[in-house]
Structure 1
């Protein structure tokens, strides 16, 4: 399904499937913000820590199964599998894109 997604999101999802932290970070704007699990992570250094702590440590891989555009965001629904309690879990990811980069990501 990643081929139908906008390129920065497709790149993020593909890198996540490989558990590739550099590839996951690359589509984000330098000042991007991620809101996940009650926390906010801003800028590449904080995003790198978030990727290491939330994704790599749990081997969490998000598999999208639907997406749509809504209020200037790309909403992607899917399932995350990994080494964490309750796996797999459904998530909705809300991406804001600016200049072919991910400017914001909200995970819920």
Structure 2
């Protein structure tokens, strides 16, 4: 028989006003699904690690990564499916952007049909 933990605590007390709604909703769902399986403090820490991994790409020691992966499998599926269809940002270094701008000026004809210089 597995150990159970108190469930008479309020998940919403852990909402941080600086969290984007998407982050909070996913963290809240993680805690809701697993409430009673772990101590309150441990579950709150697991949920924070989970959202740090999902949203910020953080990594932790392997045992924690494995545990979070197992616990988040079903919770995060909807988010991961939505994420696949979202526009992905591509970052370009400032030097590459400047170089591309200069190349465009050299090859694009101006309004009179001559090249810009």
Q: Is the TM-score greater than 0.5? A: no
| TM-score, scaled to structure 1 | 0.26
Higher-Rg member (1/2): 2
Bigger share in strand: 1
Bigger share in helix: 2
- Structure ranking higher on relative contact order (CA contacts 8 Å, 6+ apart): 1
| TM-score, scaled to structure 2 | 0.25
